[in-house]
Amino acid sequence: MAEEDDARIRILQSLRGKICEAKNLGPVSGPNRLKDLCTFCTISLDQEEVFRTKVFDKSITPFYGEDFFFEIPRPFQFLSFYVYAKGVFQRDLPVGKVSIRKDDLCKYSGKDDWFNLQPVDPNTEVQGKVHLEMRLNEVITDHGSTGQHLLVKIIECKELPLISGQNCDPYATVSLVGPARSDQKKTKVKKKTSNPYFEETFFFEVTRSSSYSRKSQFPVEEEDIEKLEIRVDLWNNENLAQDVFLGETRVPVKILQSDRVHKAWYLLQPKGTGSKSKSDDLGQLRLKLTYIEDTVLPSTCYTPLCNLLLKSPDVKPISASAAHILGDIFRERYEAVLPMVRLLLYHSRFVPFVSAVAALELDNTQEANTIFRGNSLATRCIDDMMKIVGKSYLAVTLKPVIDEICDSNKTCEIDPIKLKEGDNVEVNKENLQVYVQKVFSSITQSSSNCPPLMCDVFRSLRHLACKRFLGDPHVQYSAVSSFVFLRFFAVAVLSPHSFQLRSHHPDPEIARTLTLISKTIQTLGSWGSLSKKLSSFKESYMYDFYKSFQEEKCIEKVKKFLDEISSNVSKESCRQEDAVVLKEGEVQKRTQGKKNFSKRNFKKRWLRVTNRELSYHKRKGKEALCTISVKNIQAVEKLDESAFNRKNMFQVVLSEMPLYVQAGNCVEASEWLEILGQVSRCNEGRLTTYHSSNYTAGAWQCCKNQSGSAPGCKPCTITMLANLQLDIDCDREAERIFSLLSSNESKLQNMEDACASMAVYQGPQREQEEYSKFTIQEPKETFQTLKQLRNVMEELQRQHNSRNNTTAQYGSLDNPIVGKTS
């Protein structure tokens, strides 16, 4: 963790979920009927698109099945899901949207819900905030009476949306609006910026209109002020076309006190005057969402909790350890074990812990053929470990053959009932057999790429299984194959998009092919007699297909592979670290050395970073145009938008000249900064300061220093220490564990009560029914650990409470006012 910034509190947001399917999609504007169009979905943070599904073939009930996960790097008001009809010779047509306020996300978190699509109305598509200064002054009129003048100063705006992928040309209108008046004034247009700085002041006379018969120039009475409001509208100047609405905010004049300045940030709001068409006409979208917001305290706050969890492998019995208690309490919540696994992995305590837990499970396993078949703490921990540690192993082993299967799109259906007209089952069977052989060979020849930590776990499982079932010669293999084939490779083949082997969910026909391959791989890799294997197939066509493989040869290959990945030879020292692709994707890269800001100086490139080098290519799969050793990176920082009038830009600082890159959106930019910062954080030549803008016209635009070699004018970002290949932030994992325990204190109390009951009555004979959910071997030891956990949690809660008072002031940039809507 970062020792340099011990007092810093981080608010980290993440979103995980699935765009499942749509139904009854309604008509879109234009001559096309929706059933004749292909559709796709996007996800936006306010108005910034951060995710897009693939295009689904013509259907009004498309099944998207797209999983997504990303860190949210900035504040936002709305999370929106859009359904579009793909245009062929015209722009894509919006079908409808689902918009969820950030404050409402917790209502849907962890749930699978159908949402009605709402109309996409330009007047509701807003983003950003505006900084205003307002004052109500008393003045003496020409007639000697007292009147009131209103001063409205529009200072600046932040985070306005992109228009057609480019920074907008914003201006603002400022109006004083009442039942019988609407005085409007306008700022100058600011060019190509999403963060315009206006600094323009407007004055309004707040008096009775001359038509008022009784007291035409008297001061405004209290009830009149109640009806007046200041309205600020942001627009994008379109020159020849109609200007685009960017958002508005309304401030009641009554909140202003005479001669006092009111200065605050306001969130821009929709107009609220959009289309009233029935949402039922547009269809529905099924979504599964999990939104998490972690308030991460300084590292020292989590030291007691981490120490308690990390000593778990040494606790006897293991069931009395803090880590085992955590898994026991949340045995029905699969994702709850993940932060604990990540914490143990980071501190190299995973292998001894999972070995102890596996030994406990084996003690309760009566038959060798049921070994590690259930959803136990041991299997959940090892599943999570393989997904984290084995990510690059899967990519090296399976990605080439998975890409071939998905791209070639050969028919492999062998079920007679599902065959289409014109299909040849023998040709299909031959296609499937070729694919299975390729996948099987890729797996059984991959032992040299198996991560050392996975090998250590498999070696331990093999040893424990042999010790438990001394007379069974096969159990040493089934203990390993039940994980590496059934829970790792077969699952990755079935859902390659879930393991980052493919960017999108496969088409139904490809998905069917992968299902058949996965079934066969499970059977080929499982350990048992041929009759047992064949009995696992309920379908006769799979039974016949499997018999076409040479059983003995397959068994020998599997046996050799399992021996190699669970042998007693440690691979750590005899193998150089492989190059691991940490991130790759399309970006806009500025041509280095160019002096002007022409769009032509930015070109699409495929950027790729491994733990060894950064490279960019003309397109994905092409030879590198330039390769940079990560050891030569001196800093990785954001670039001011004003440098090139582009958002989401960052710079890779090198000794010769910086590399300027524009990411596709804020999520992509944040990921590039995080990964490049991590991979270069220990470089000897790393800088402590940097320039936040570019050098042009003979000076750095950020500090106006005219020396091109001048040291930076801003301190470099402190990169939080994390394990690059495992992508683990220990403070964040500890905070998630604390949150889980805090929200389930009743379960901790039930476990304490069970321990007390068992200790008093000298055994489990009087334990209540709910106590049987816990694994308690030594009640006194377990009770002691529970007390320690409770003490740690109370102290952490106190730390959180003491920092809750530091929330940003309402009306500040970090906590803007949600203004009145129309």
Query: CA 425 to CA 137: how far, in whole Å?
Result: 87
SS (H, E, C) 481-524: HHHHHHHHHHHHHHCHHHHCCCCCCCCHHHHHHHHHHHHHHHHH
3 state DSSP class of 558: helix
Q: Give the amino acid at 260.
A: R
Q: Is 1.10.506.10 the CATH number for 367-373+382-565?
A: yes
Structure-token pair, residue 769? 């029914």
Radius of gyration of the chain (CA): 32
> How far from the centroid of its chain's Cα atoms is residue 249's Cα?
31
The 3-state DSSP composition of the chain as helix, strand, coil percent (nearest 5) reads: 40, 25, 35
Q: Do residues 607 and 589 make contact, with C-beta atoms less than 8 angstroms apart?
A: yes
Four-point Cα dihedral 345, 346, 348, 352, nearest 10: -30
Structure tokens that stand for 13 in this block: 């947001």
User: If we measure between CA atoms, which residue out of 391, 500, 400, 495 comes closest to residue 453?
Assistant: 391
Give yes or no for a contact between 478 and 368, defined as CB atoms under 8 angstroms apart. Answer: yes
The CATH code of domain 10-117+285-291 reads 2.60.40.150
Token couple for 820: 């009145």
Chain-centroid distance, C-alpha 465: 38
> Given this model, what pLDDT does residue 727 score?
72
Closest among 198, 189, 74 to 127, alpha carbons compared: 74
Cα 705 from Cα 722, distance rounded (Å): 35
Contact 315, 785 (CB under 8 A): yes
Which residues of the chain register pLDDT less than 70?
1-7, 27-36, 88-89, 140-146, 165, 207-224, 258-259, 272-280, 334, 527-538, 550, 568-578, 592-600, 719-726, 760-772, 804-807, 820-822
- 62 Cβ neighbours under 8 A, 6+ residues apart: 21, 22, 25, 39, 56
Contacts 24+ apart (CB under 8 A), 503-506: 503/54, 504/53, 504/54, 504/66, 505/54, 505/64, 505/65, 505/66, 505/67, 506/406
Residue 352: phi, psi to the nearest 5?
-65, -35
- Helix 425-444 and helix 508-525, axial crossing angle in degrees, nearest 10: 60
- Smallest CA-to-CA distance from 526 within 449, 518, 31 is with 518
Residue-level pLDDT at 170: 94
Q: Is the distance from CB of 337 to CB of 444 less than 8 angstroms?
A: no
pLDDT of residue 180: 76
Report angle CA 6, 11, 14 to the nearest 5 degrees: 130
CATH number of 129-210+223-267: 2.60.40.150
Largest CA distance in the chain: 111
Question: Hey, what are 675's tokens?
Answer: 């990964």
Dist CA 680 CA 687 (whole Å): 11
The continuous run of DSSP H or E covering 748 comes out as: helix 745-760
One fold for both 10-117+285-291 and 367-373+382-565?
no
pLDDT at 554: 84
Burial of 348 (0-12, 13-18, 19+ CB in 10 A): exposed
Q: Which two tokens stand for residue 612?
A: 């060894």
Q: For residues 207 and 216, what is the distance between their CA atoms, to the nearest angstrom? A: 8
Residue keyed to tokens 């403070």: 731
- How far does CA 782 lie from the centroid of its chain? 36
Number of alpha carbons in the 13 Å side-chain half-sphere of residue 25 = 31
Q: CA 228 to CA 800: how far, in whole Å?
A: 42
The CATH number, out of the four listed (2.60.40.10, 2.30.29.30, 2.60.40.420, 3.60.20.10), of the domain defined by the range 581-590+602-715: 2.30.29.30
Burial of 705 from C-beta contacts in 10 A (0-12 / 13-18 / 19+): middle
Dist CA 443 CA 437 (whole Å): 10
How far apart are the C-alpha atoms of 15 and 109, rounded to whole Å? 9
Residue listed under structure tokens 């402190």: 718
For residues 721 and 2, the answer to whether their CB atoms sit within 8 Å is yes
Phi, psi of 385 (to 5 degrees): -60, -45
Q: Residue 183: CB partners within 8 Å, gap ≥ 6?
A: 175, 176, 204
Q: At what angle do helices 508-525 and 551-565 cross, to 10 degrees?
A: 80
Give yes or no for a contact between 331 and 357, defined as CB atoms under 8 angstroms apart: no
- What 3-state DSSP class applies to 422? coil
176-191: pLDDT as tens digits: 988 877 889 999 999 9
Q: Report the distance separating Cα 414 and Cα 377, nearest Å.
A: 38
Q: Which two tokens stand for residue 567?
A: 């042998």
pLDDT of residue 304: 96
Ordered by start, the domain boundaries in the chain are: 10-117+285-291, 129-210+223-267, 297-364+744-797, 367-373+382-565, 581-590+602-715
Given the structure tokens 């060979």, which residue do they identify? 441
Compute the residue count for the chain: 822
Spell out the SS3 assignment of 674-697: HHHHHHHCCCCCCCCEECCCCEEC
DSSP 192: S
pLDDT by residue (tens digit) across 728-781? Answer: 889 999 999 999 999 888 888 888 888 888 876 655 544 455 566 788 888 899
CB 187 within 8 A of CB 237: no
List C-alpha distances in Å: 3 to 115, 341, 618, 636, 721.
45, 23, 40, 20, 9
Question: For residue 463, what are its two tokens?
Answer: 């040893």
